[in-house]
Chains A and B, each alone.
Chain A
Amino acid sequence: MNPVHAALAYFVWFLSTYYLLFFILTLFANESRLFERRRLGAQRPLVTILVPAYNEQGKIAQTIASLKRITYERVEVIVINDGSKDRTSDETRAAIKGDGRFRLIDRRENRGKGASLNDGIAAARGEYIVTIDADTVVEPNILQKVLPYFDDEKVGAVTVSVLVKRPQRFLHRVLELEYIIGLSLFLRLLSFMGIVFVTPGPFSIYRASMLRKIQGFDASNITEDLEIAYRIRFAGYRIVNCMDAKVYTILPPTFKGLYRQRRRWYTGAIQTMYQHRKQIFTTRQGLFSAFIVFNYSLIFVGIILFLSSMYLAASHLTQQLWEYQYTGWNFLENLKEYRFDILRFSGIEIIGLMGLLSTFVLLGLGLYYTRTNVRHKKAAIAGYPVLFFLYQLWWIAAIISAVRGKRVKWK
């Protein structure tokens, strides 16, 4: 009997169930608008696409190739080489050669993504500015899909569906599902509620005047795409999502790379929240502030529950292993004697099962409403709950980094 752990489990279950239902109900209420398409007006404003690049050899060429296939008439592309130590600069020059729409800003010194983007903003001539990652592949008609959203003067930025390009490993296939739910459907639902809190790095488009008004990106922040979203909101603009527009990004190939990426994301999230704590807690941002506080509170309380659960599980396992030494380590004989008895389930087991079920319900609804073909995704679907363990580990690493004030690098 551990009443504190039990109370914490019920509390986290209640909050996370509420969170889940909030989004499911938003989904049902806006089902017909998910893949809404808006018509582009007669005007064709110039759009600048900024591509900051650091050590992107082997990837930058395909990004540039996809940008060349964009069908929108008035585009300029500025690639900013941020002091790469590999052949990024050479590959870029070769890829853009002969195409007047492309320019290269070649920096010798690495100053970070935020600073590179600010250089790009300074050089941009477009009325709208797109920022994309150097390993992103875009749809040819993406600009025609996103530009109509700026007809609303209050819209400062538009995000799109960020999906994973050709996942090969099992973990990448599981993360592909996460991107479908989190960086596609979830952003669309947040858009309906007016609480989009991030402009993802793989592709976001901004109103150029607004970007200059808020002085561009924070070069000192490791998640500049998240931080700028807060300032866009505080400046009175909205961020919306066009789920119909898709881009494809590449995941870090190794687990270590993935760990670094997530640690950066989550450390940046903590640092951004701390940086803007006054505005979040005191400025009248309505549902946006409430969502930010609720979202991160749930994450942190969830981590405490996770650590408590791991401690109890480890204690129990240690006790069991200790006891087995007295009986000759006869695990198998004891396993044969095991009989399932549902009456041994306490409330915690019941809510645990409900939590697992709700994970698959959310995943199922997400895949259904995003019209995803699940034929080759069954193994990834079965492995999806594993992500929740990884989230805890990544968040714990991020909290430690943030508390230590450790500088988390991009790469």
Chain B
Amino acid sequence: MKKMKNIVPILALLITIFLFATVLLVSSTFEQRRQVYLDTEMQKVYNSLNDMQIYMLMSDTYDQKMACIAYKEKLRDLDKTTWQLGQKIDQYRAASEEFRKDPYYLQQKQVFNENEMLYLLLLKKVKETCDMQQSIIIFFYQNSDDCKKCDDQSFILTDIHRDIDKDAAIFSFDIDLNLTTVRLLREYYDVKELPCVVIDDHPYCGIQGRDFIVGKICENVTTLPQCQTQNASG
């Protein structure tokens, strides 16, 4: 009986350590799967952007309008994929960084912002070439510790994107990443305050509500159901 009394505390400790190791193993497995998912999705975005560039060259070389159908199809998928990928990077980063920052996610954000920049430039060109009615919204933000309203603006834009993802493309650029391309774009639009939302080349800094942003989108995309509702209530 005394032997049993001595064994129980030690055995309990060993099993606890084993369970703890299991938790760490499961966490590590999840982390690997997160990275595989993000790498795969990032590759998809990259491939789509490559396709867009090829269509662009085709338009330039052959008929300007011939690639427009292909553009529109590609944009529909690319827009949703890009938005979701951006959200996943943030979500998975929060899950992974329990104790320390993980350089992998910082790197992913940088690559993502660069891909977004490429997508933005291609989209602008496509709009001109194919005469598309789509709003382009550029959102400049930084870390919520330094910009409390940036989180609020992000929430509003997520809400808007859910309703009108086909008719408006939203690009989010994190100032804290210090990317040259983002800095240049910020200087171009003369963004001095964060958060700042540039809607179809017009900057509106400070937090902008949902109705305001939708209203601005409706000035360019009149076919949106939300625009008809707004006009009716207006």
Measured CA separation A319–B151 after assembly (Å): 9
**Which residues does chain B contribute within 8 Å of A327, judged by CB atoms?**
155-156, 159, 210
CB contact list, B168-189 vs A, under 8 A: none
Given the known interface contacts A7-B99, A326-B210, A327-B156, the answer about A354 and B23 at a Cβ–Cβ threshold of 8 Å is yes
With A and B bound together, what is the CA distance between A326 and B214 in angstroms? Answer: 12
- A255, CB-defined interface residue at 8 Å: no
Whether A354 touches B151, Cβ cut-off 8 Å, given contacts A333-B162, A346-B95, A346-B98, is no
Name A22's contact: one of B8, B19, B26 (CB within 8 Å).
B8
Contact stretch, chosen from A130-138, A144-152, A337-345, A389-397: A337-345
Chain B residues with CB under 8 Å of A342's CB are 30
Chain B's nearest CB lies how many Å from the CB of A318?
A: 12
Q: Which of B10-18, B116-124, B198-206 contacts A (4 or more CB under 8 A)?
A: B10-18
Q: Which residues of B contact A193 (CB under 8 A)?
A: 5, 8
Roughly how many angstroms separate A319 CA and B154 CA in the complex, as a whole number?
12
B192 interfacial by beta-carbon distance below 8 Å:
no
- Is A347 positioned at the interface, with any CB of B under 8 Å from its CB? yes
A22 close to B12 (CB less than 8 A): yes
Q: Mark B130-158, 1 if CB is under 8 A from A, else 0.
A: 00000000000000000000011001100
Out of B12, B24, B210, name the residue touching A347 (CB < 8 Å).
Answer: B24
Q: Given A14-B16, A343-B34, A344-B91, check contact A1 B98 (CB 8 Å).
A: yes
Q: Are A25 and B12 in touch, CB under 8 angstroms?
A: yes
Q: Would you list which residues of chain B between 52 and 97 have a CB under 8 Å from chain A? A: 91-92, 94-97
Would you give the shortest CB distance from A35 to chain B, in whole angstroms? 18
Tell me whether chain B's interface is mostly helix, strand or loop, or mixed. helix
> Distance (Å) between the CB of B26 and the closest chain A CB?
6
- The answer to whether A281 has its CB under 8 Å from any CB of chain B is no
Determine the distance from Cα of A354 to Cα of B19 in the docked complex, in whole angstroms: 10
Task: Give Cα A354–Cα B26 distance, bound, in whole angstroms.
Answer: 12
Residues on A with beta carbons closer than 8 Å to the beta carbon of B9: 22
The minimal Cβ–Cβ distance linking B213 to chain A, given in whole angstroms, is 10
Name the residue among A6, A21, A22 with the largest chain B CB count within 10 angstroms.
A21
Quote the shortest CB–CB distance from B61 to chain A (angstroms): 41
A-facing residues in B23-50 (Cβ within 8 Å): 23-24, 26-27, 30, 33-34, 37
Indicate which residue in A18, A341, A348 contacts B16 across the interface (CB closer than 8 Å): A18
Which B residues form the contact surface with A (CB < 8 A)? 4-5, 8-9, 11-13, 15-16, 19-20, 23-24, 26-27, 30, 33-34, 37, 91-92, 94-101, 151-152, 155-156, 159, 162, 207, 209-210
13 A-B pairs with C-beta separation under 8 A: A1-B99, A14-B20, A21-B11, A25-B12, A25-B15, A323-B156, A330-B159, A333-B162, A343-B30, A344-B91, A346-B94, A350-B26, A354-B19
**Apart from A17-B19, A343-B95, A348-B98: 4 A-B pairs, beta carbons within 8 A:** A25-B8, A322-B152, A343-B34, A347-B23
